[in-house]
Amino acid sequence: MKKVGWTSPWIYKNEILEIPPHEEGDICDVFDFSNNYVGRGYINERSFISVRLLSHSPEKINKEFFSRRIEEALKRRDEFSGAFRVIHSEADGMPGVVADLFGNHLVIQFNTLGMERRKEEILDAFEETIKLEGIFEKSEGRARKREGLEDSIGWIRGKGEELIPFHIDDASYFSDTKGQKTGFFLDQRFNAKAIREFARGNVLDAFCYTGNFSVNALMSGADRVISIDRSERAKKVYEKILRANGIGNGENRYEFLVGNVFDELRTFEKRGQLFDLIILDPPAFAKSKKELLSALRGYKEINLRAMKILKNGGYLATASCSAALDRKTFLNVVKDAAFDAHKALRIVHFGFQSYDHPVLIGMKESEYLKFFVFEVEAI
């Protein structure tokens, strides 16, 4: 058998010539049109991504296989401690699995039928590789529905608290098992730390969730931070995180507004309220290419509104986690917003997802997070 390379571990339904009888979720071998061996993966014809490759070789897919994958992933993350993503799906050779480690607790997502069928083997592999007190499953969302799966949420091995405590560098946090995704956005860890270089005076943290950027701004000496999210629960976790870091509200240093960011930005503009630094870290406005046009309007709107309430020479930190939106297009959207706001921009920092969320070259979907810090001046 001759090995051939691939540009992506995904094989779409319209690329397949022939499929032998099978059960959905079965392990299968893939050959190209010249009968050269491509790899071994699992199949689910319910999904347009009908096959997801696990290996270039016809090796056994069992607990030992998953243990090797986890050990390899841990070696890539030697410098991380406290909390980090252990498995980043396709980029770590385990498509359909996302697993974040918070201290001695693992929060895991099974997003495909193929991996759901091998859940117990994967969990055993994690427990044999990492010393864990508990594993929390947070398998939910559109990806599972496309695979014909129901949501599955709860402690499935060991036990833990609703809020899982952990540390990153000199800061304490909580992962909220009742919150978004795995409970905390670890992909922004380096960008959140970088924000300390620009945090001064009055800071606005929009779409703040539980306040990763806000905490870093307050710890670096910002005079006051206003944080906005539409979740009451996020506010409660945010306040608990501040207390864990010994951050009090003397001199009214922080405020959490529960509301719609678009509305709040307009309100600040009407008041003439200005900020030295504004952070925009919205959820993915475009989860697919079909949603891209409306997403571009949303990204332009929030960046335009933010620039109008920045002090001259202030900083705008703006992010997009939409995989459907590439870096160049996102930058052009911000540029268009600056033109309409009569502002000039200088890039002073550029970042993307933390390297415990590796990008698989040839699979553009794995490079999703874009993060810029601009110095903004009036024209």
What 3 state SS string does 216-250 have?
HHHHCCCCEEEEEECCHHHHHHHHHHHHHCCCCCH
The answer to whether residue 179 is domain-embedded is no
For position 286, what pLDDT does the model report? 79
- DSSP H stretches of helix in the chain: 63-76, 113-116, 119-129, 142-146, 189-194, 212-219, 232-244, 261-271, 292-308, 327-340
pLDDT-based confidence at 221, cuts 50/70/90? confident
Domain with residue 68: its CATH number is: 3.30.750.80
Would you say residue 166 lies in a domain?
no
User: Is 321 part of the annotated catalytic residue set?
Assistant: yes
Q: What is the pLDDT of residue 3?
A: 43
Say whether both 38 and 70 belong to one domain: no
The Cα 243–Cα 231 span in angstroms is 19
User: pLDDT tens across 12-54, in order?
Assistant: 999 999 999 999 999 999 999 999 999 999 999 999 999 999 9
Is the pLDDT assigned to residue 4 strictly greater than 60?
Answer: no
The pLDDT-based confidence of 362 (bands split at 50, 70, 90) is: confident
pLDDT tier, 7 (very low <50, low <70, confident <90, very high otherwise)? low
What is the C-alpha to C-alpha distance for residues 62 and 79, in angstroms, rounded to an integer?
28
Is 228 found in the same domain as 116? no
In a domain, 33, yes or no: yes
**Position 195 in a domain:** yes
Percent of the chain with pLDDT over 90: 91
pLDDT band at 288 (very low <50, low <70, confident <90, very high): confident
Question: Residue 323 domain-assigned?
Answer: yes
Give the pLDDT of residue 363.
Answer: 87
pLDDT tens per residue, range 104-150: 999 999 999 999 999 999 999 999 999 999 999 999 998 999 999 99
373 shares its domain with 236: yes
Task: Give residue-wise pLDDT tens across range 296-332.
Answer: 999 999 999 999 999 999 999 999 999 999 999 999 9
Same domain, 132 and 229: no
Instruction: Please report the pLDDT score of residue 365 as a whole number.
Output: 86
Asked if 129 and 207 sit in the same domain, the reply is no
The token pair at 343 is: 């502002």
DSSP 122: H
364 and 215 within one domain:
yes
Number of domains in the chain: 3
Is residue 2 over pLDDT 60? Answer: no
Same domain, 124 and 220: no
Query: Is 207 found in the same domain as 114?
Result: no
State the greatest distance between any 2 C-alpha atoms of the chain, in Å, as a whole number: 72
315's CB contacts (< 8 A; 6+ apart) are 198, 276, 277, 278, 348, 373, 374, 375, 376
Q: Is 169 within a domain?
A: no
With cut-offs at 50, 70 and 90, classify the pLDDT of residue 83. Answer: very high
Per the DSSP assignment, residues forming a β-bridge with 99 are 87, 108
The Cα–Cα gap between 233 and 336 comes to 35
Answer whether residue 179 shows pLDDT above 50: yes
- Together in a domain, 46 and 71: no
Looking at the fold, whether 208 and 132 belong to one and the same domain comes out as: no
> Alpha-carbon distance 362 to 178, whole Å?
34
Domain range for 153 is: 63-161
Distance CA 320, CA 336 (A): 16
Q: Are strands 202-206 and 224-229 parallel, antiparallel or unpaired?
A: parallel
Task: Give the CATH number for residue 30.
Answer: 2.30.130.10
If asked whether residues 260 and 306 sit together in one domain, one would say yes
Please say which residue of 95, 127, 161 terminates a domain.
161
Catalytic one among 186, 296, 321, 369? Answer: 321
Q: What is the CATH number of the domain that holds 340?
A: 3.40.50.150
Instruction: Find the mean pLDDT for residues 154-173.
Output: 96
Cα separation of 363 and 50, whole Å? Answer: 16
180, part of any domain: no
In a domain, residue 268? The reply is yes
* Average per-residue pLDDT for the chain: 95
**Percentage with pLDDT > 70 across the chain:** 98
In this structure, what are the phi and psi dihedrals at residue 113, rounded to the nearest 5 degrees? -65, -40
CA distance 58 to 29: 7
- For residues 269 and 368, membership in a common domain is answered with yes
